[in-house]
């Protein structure tokens, strides 16, 4: 039994205890009427989470990356043109997945830490017929939140489909698939849903399904063939893989917890604790990475610039060894330059924010970084007080 | 919370309660030293389970089908020749997966309910250069156990690799990867390991790894790219997907339970309960499907011929509704003709065998099938008594 941790990295977040309890429920066979009823619950709750009326709304039996690959490999045929918006690590992943599927990928790139304008995407769409535009809704590597409506509009004007990587956003902020015109949306379990990873919800509309039906070539993957998965997650109950029963129990409970809390309350909670954290970090004299305004940043994932003279890795090690608190490192061009502090799902609480700020102050002082004693905790407490918490 | 079930189908088996408890352990970050130590345990226990010294022995984050596809798609390049032995549903699956990967598949087919001779496979190997021979070790659809040594020998004589689908066999009978000369072996969690499905152990040797390294084309899948997964499950800790933490806890505990019980004791237990069940079924006047001798049948999965005049589906429904006992239906050409009764992992117990026989007797009598009252239970009890249990 490992030491308990306070997980404030970019994921996994702490699993909700009610999710963990659900995961230890004894198993059912996958065609047991009690189990197929649970599958129906999961689909209905997935529609709630994505704010969609799509018939197709079910989880892929793998991590977020599996669900992203399922969507791309099921829609794209070798030689199809795909435009990927890239301004972070997970944009690079979408490019890699699409290239492996044999797509002709056009990358529209932006600076890490910024969002992408629709204009260069529109320009790229005008250049040649395009099957799919893929974009990251919440870029976990930089903390930016990409607005999707304008990109959806221009994508549809050119007859393409829009796919959004909502791995980090679902359950933490609005993901209004139908209203925004997103054709395919893919999520993860271990971020704002506070479920262990291993089962990843997605949804797609009739346009995306039609594109899959009109394929001329067979999907190279059996495991990630969305057509077969949709038939399994349907009244036909077409036999595919053996359902990961414990994960299905866990995901249902995580989605129920989201539903019970309600969208507005949940998004407000994520905003509140992220803002309190940032107030505290600011009072400690730390700088938040990136220049985008608040509405274009993730409320629940805060990128913090590592101050000059501070050992990035040693700070994380001391936080975990002395205080049992995990915060995140960074990828690629940002590696060693920023930390990423997540306040997602069950991790997003007043206590965790205050513990993190208190521990960070001590560790930074050990690195020779000067702060006013208790400034971080005091500022966060003041933020909570002002919010009436 | 669903009604508890006695799971005696072809999988999932009942999860070991110690596995379910482990799955509700709070999460760790995937690069936390406590978590990487758990990953190391899983690899060491995977080597124990497969009786191998292979460096590569780790789970794929998906169900057995994902691990089978990972192995095939990572080894086979489009146009490579693959020979698949097929005498059941899961042979057909291997053919489908290999075809989707772009392989030129030669199927060597046998009657469902029989094992395959090495001779026609050898003849097929002589016809043209072959990259991979893929064969099902335990065919869950028919209950046959395929001997692998002779096929490994002939495969290697022709410079090909042998892959074995051990999804149903690992943890239930000998899977001696190194001694038999199996180059790639793939297992499942939810059969004789009694863990929920969702994480599937595999192992491959240096010859298979070398074949992956010598590829000229990129693996089409990112999620199932064994090279990347091996780098993640290695001291390099190459960042790939976010580990399905709860499943890793569960699989470790399932493999530990196997290790604690010991190979010989575990295989003897599976044989004992299977034999007791079959003694009881025989005394009830039922016929076991297939003509292979006992050593070529799965001890822990018993295919039973549905008697004339008995409604196959109604029997299963009554077993589950009245007695909470799940037994399995069949696939393809055997659909409606046989039931499949699994006594795997934690499900393999004296109590479950006797409950199943008692319930089945009542349900069959309701279908007008004549049996001597208590004949099944009495025969199984006599079998246990003779075995000193």
Handedness of CA A57, A63, A68, A73 (dihedral sign): negative
pLDDT of residue B148: 98
CA distance B198 to chain A (A): 5
Class assignment of domain A262-386?
A: alpha beta
The shortest CB-CB distance from A198 to any of B20, B61, B224 is to: B61
What does the pLDDT look like over A195-250, one tens digit per residue? 999 999 999 999 999 999 999 999 999 999 999 999 999 999 999 999 999 999 99
Residues in chain A closer than 8 A to B4 (CB atoms): 26
Main-chain dihedrals φ then ψ at residue B45, nearest 5 degrees? -70, -30
The shortest CB-CB distance from A326 to any of B3, B32, B190 is to: B32
- The boundaries of every CATH 3.90.1150.10 domain in chain B are 263-386
Residues in chain A closer than 8 A to B331 (CB atoms): 239
B12 vs A245: CB contact, 8 Å cut-off?
Answer: yes
* pLDDT of A4 over the 80 cut: yes
Searching chain A, which residue's CA lies closest to the CA of residue B329?
Answer: A31
Question: Which residues lie closer than 8 Å to A323 by C-beta, 6 or more apart?
Answer: A6, A355, A359, A363
B223 vs A66: CB contact, 8 Å cut-off?
Answer: yes
Neighbour-count burial of B235, counting CB atoms closer than 10 A to its CB (0-12 exposed, 13-18 middle, 19+ buried): exposed
B5 vs A32: CB contact, 8 Å cut-off?
Answer: yes
CA distance A79 to chain B (A): 13
B27 vs A5: CB contact, 8 Å cut-off?
Answer: yes
pLDDT in tens, chain B (389 residues): 788 899 999 999 999 999 999 999 999 999 999 999 999 999 999 999 999 999 999 999 999 999 999 999 999 999 999 999 999 999 999 999 999 999 999 999 999 999 999 999 999 999 999 999 999 999 999 999 999 999 999 999 999 999 999 999 999 999 999 999 999 999 999 999 999 999 999 999 999 999 999 999 999 999 999 999 999 999 999 999 999 999 999 999 999 999 999 999 999 999 999 999 999 999 999 999 999 999 999 999 999 999 999 999 999 999 999 999 999 999 999 999 999 999 999 999 999 999 999 999 999 999 999 999 999 999 999 999 999 99
The shortest CB-CB distance from B65 to any of A3, A65, A222 is to: A222
Neighbour-count burial of B349, counting CB atoms closer than 10 A to its CB (0-12 exposed, 13-18 middle, 19+ buried): middle
The shortest CB-CB distance from A246 to any of B64, B243, B250 is to: B250
How many secondary structure helices (H) and strands (E) does chain A include?
Answer: 14, 13
* pLDDT of A387 over the 80 cut: yes
- The boundaries of every CATH 3.90.1150.10 domain in chain A are 262-386
What does the pLDDT look like over B156-204, one tens digit per residue? 999 999 999 999 999 999 999 999 999 999 999 999 999 999 999 999 9
The architecture of the domain spanning A17-260 is 3-Layer(aba) Sandwich (3.40)
Instruction: Quote ipTM for the complex.
Output: 0.96
The shortest CB-CB distance from A32 to any of B23, B247, B320 is to: B320
- The boundaries of every CATH 3.40.640.10 domain in chain A are 17-260
Distances (CA, A) of A157 to A76, A160, A319, A388: 19, 8, 50, 46
CB pairs below 8 Å between A and B: how many?
Answer: 209
Domain range B263-386, its CATH number among 3.40.50.150, 3.90.1150.10, 3.40.50.300, 3.30.2320.50? 3.90.1150.10
Searching chain A, which residue's CA lies closest to the CA of residue B20?
Answer: A24
B223 vs A224: CB contact, 8 Å cut-off?
Answer: yes
B12 vs A35: CB contact, 8 Å cut-off?
Answer: no
* Three-class secondary structure assignment of chain B: CCCCCEEECCCCCCCCHHHHHHHCCCCCCCCCHHHHHHHHHHHHHHHHHHCCCCCEEEEECCCHHHHHHHHHHHHCCCCCEEEEEECCHHHHHHHHHHHHCCCEEEEEECCCCCCCCHHHHHHHHHHCCCCEEEEECEECCCCEECCCHHHHHHHHHCCCEEEEEECCCECCECCCHHHHCCCEEEECCCCCCCCCCCCEEEEECHHHHHHHHCCCCCCCCCCCCHHHHHHHCCCCCCCCCCCCHHHHHHHHHHHHHHHHHCHHHHHHHHHHHHHHHHHHHHHCCCCECCCCCHHHECCCEEEEECCCCCCHHHHHHHHHHHHCEEEECCCHHHCCCEEEEECCHHHCCHHHHHHHHHHHHHHHHHCCCCCCCCHHHHHHHHHHHHCCC
A27 vs B190: CB contact, 8 Å cut-off?
Answer: yes
């Amino acid at each position: 039994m490992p030491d308990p941790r306070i997980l404030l990295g970019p994921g996994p977040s702490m699993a909700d205890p009610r999710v963990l309890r659900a995961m230890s429920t004894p198993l059912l066979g996958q065609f047991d009427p009690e189990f197929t009823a649970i599958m129906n619950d999961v689909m209905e709750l997935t529609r709630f989470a994505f704010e969609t009326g799509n018939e197709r709304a079910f989880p892929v039996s793998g991590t977020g990356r599996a669900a992203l690959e399922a969507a791309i490999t099921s829609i794209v045929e070798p030689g199809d043109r795909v435009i990927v918006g890239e301004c972070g690590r997970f944009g690079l992943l979408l490019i890699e997945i699409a290239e492996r599927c044999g797509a002709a990928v056009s990358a529209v790139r932006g600076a890490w830490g910024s969002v992408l304008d629709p204009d260069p995407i529109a320009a790229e769409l005008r250049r040649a017929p395009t099957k799919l535009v893929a974009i990251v809704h919440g870029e976990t590597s930089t903390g930016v939140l990409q607005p999707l409506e304008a990109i959806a509009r221009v994508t549809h004007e050119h007859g393409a489909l829009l796919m959004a990587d909502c791995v980090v956003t679902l359950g933490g902020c609005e993901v209004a698939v139908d209203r925004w015109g997103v054709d395919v949306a893919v999520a993860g379990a271990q971020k704002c849903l506070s479920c262990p990873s291993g089962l990843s919800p997605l949804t797609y509309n009739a346009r995306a399904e039609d594109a899959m039906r009109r394929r001329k070539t067979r999907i190279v993957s059996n495991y990630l063939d969305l057509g077969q998965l949709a038939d399994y997650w349907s009244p036909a109950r077409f036999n595919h893989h053996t359902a990961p029963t414990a994960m299905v129990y866990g995901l249902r409970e995580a989605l129920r917890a989201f539903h019970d809390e309600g969208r507005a309350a949940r998004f407000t909670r994520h905003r509140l604790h992220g803002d309190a954290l940032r107030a505290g970090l600011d009072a400690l004299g730390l700088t938040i990475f990136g220049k985008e305004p608040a509405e274009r940043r993730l409320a629940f994932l805060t990128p913090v610039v590592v101050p000059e003279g501070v050992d990035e890795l040693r700070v994380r090690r001391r936080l975990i060894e002395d205080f049992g608190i995990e915060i995140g490192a960074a990828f690629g061009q940002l590696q060693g330059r920023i930390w990423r502090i997540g306040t997602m799902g069950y991790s997003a609480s007043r206590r965790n924010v205050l513990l993190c700020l208190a521990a960070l102050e001590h560790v930074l002082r050990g690195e020779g970084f000067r702060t006013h004693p208790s400034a971080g905790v005091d500022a966060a407490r003041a933020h909570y007080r002002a919010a009436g918490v």
